Amino acid sequence: MALQTAELERVKEQIRGLGRRDWLWWSLGLLSLLLVGGGLMHLFLRRAPDAAAQPVDLTLGQAVAYLYAVAVTVVAFQIYSLLRSKESRKMQVELLLETLKNEVGRLESLRDPMTQVYNRNCLDELLAMEIRRSERYTKPFAVILMDIDNFKSINDRFGHLKGDYVLMEVAQILRTCVRGADYIIRYGGDEFIMLLPDTDQEGAEIVVERLQKKITDWDTHSEDGRFELTISAGISIFTQGREAAELVTEADQRMYEAKRSHTSASSTQATS
């Protein structure tokens, strides 16, 4: 997820404030330089009161003193300006580093530590963002809710460490089935939600078929043995006027319909 707009604007305004303060100091320094130079010029080159047309002769010592004073003032101003510029850059870097640190912390709080996909805390924000985008461009997006079938039996047969391993592998397979613009969220223990922008029903079904095939292939060739891994998935498609909760509820209902059909098919096979 991108850097939050409010946070980015705050940083920009603070950096602009530093720039305005630098310009103020530069202006004050230049004004001081002009005042000092003018004062010195008036001191050494002032006219005699009884000879308005004849300037006082400038001796060599006075000229040297005048040039020395101007040079010292210019050098002092340059040193001061360099120090101010260095301090300003340091403050800008510190501000940016603090902002990036806060943003990294925020993004980490939105990641599931085990599977490294988004966690449920950011689902509402992502759904709202995709709804706004779809309404603006009048394009659909798909919500896919998938669940690992009989995941409890995997934990019971192989142990919870193997169960965690299966979850991580499934999350990795999910990442290979979607595009860079898609989102994967761990919705619950063994449930995942995928948000697919610019995707209709047919496109979402293709993703689900690809996912099922890849999971079956992985399970077949797994070095840890067969987990008999299958998934159930439900799809809902956003159209104008639909709410986020409605999309998730519909995908959840269709996922359980798919799960019941898997159970019925398994029972029929066992009976025959």
Beta pairing, strands 183-186 & 231-237: unpaired
User: What is the C-alpha separation between 259 and 253, in angstroms, rounded?
Assistant: 10
Tokens for 219, please give them: 């399970």
Of 6-15, 109-118, 177-186, 187-196, give the lowest mean pLDDT range.
Answer: 6-15
> For 232, what's the count of Cα atoms within 13 Å in the CB-facing half-sphere?
20
User: What is the C-alpha separation between 226 and 153, in angstroms, rounded?
Assistant: 13
| Burial group, residue 222, by CB count within 10 angstroms (0-12, 13-18, 19+) | middle
Considering only CA atoms, which of 111, 215, 217 is closest in space to residue 166? 215
37 in helix, strand or coil? helix
From edge to edge, which strands make up the β-sheet containing 183-186? Answer: 183-186, 191-197, 141-148, 231-237
Task: Give the pLDDT score at 264.
Answer: 47
Its pTM stands at 0.64
228 in helix, strand or coil? coil
State the average pLDDT over residues 166-189. 93
Q: Which residues contact 127 (CB under 8 A, 6 or more apart)?
A: 143, 195, 244, 247, 248
Neighbours of 117 (CB within 10 A): 20
Q: How far is C-alpha 50 from the geometric centre of its chain's CA atoms?
A: 76
State the average pLDDT over residues 241-264. 88
Q: How far is C-alpha 68 from the geometric centre of its chain's CA atoms?
A: 55
User: What is the C-alpha separation between 209 and 201, in angstroms, rounded?
Assistant: 12
Q: Which residues contact 136 (CB under 8 A, 6 or more apart)?
A: none
Task: Band the pLDDT of 272: cuts 50, 70, 90.
Answer: very low
Tokens for 197, please give them: 């922008």
95 in Cβ contact with 19 (< 8 Å):
no
Give just the sign of the alpha carbon dihedral 106, 169, 164, 255: positive
Task: Give the pLDDT score at 147.
Answer: 94
120-271 sits in which CATH class? alpha beta
- CA terminus-to-terminus distance, the chain: 50
Report which of residues 86 and 160 the model is more confident about.
Answer: 160
Span 49-106, pLDDT tens digits: 554 545 555 566 666 666 666 677 666 766 766 666 677 677 777 777 777 777 666 6
In Å, how far are 62, 67, 74, 271 from 58, measured between CA atoms? 6, 12, 22, 119
User: What is the C-alpha separation between 192 and 94, in angstroms, rounded?
Assistant: 38
Domain residue spans in the chain?
A: 5-109, 120-271
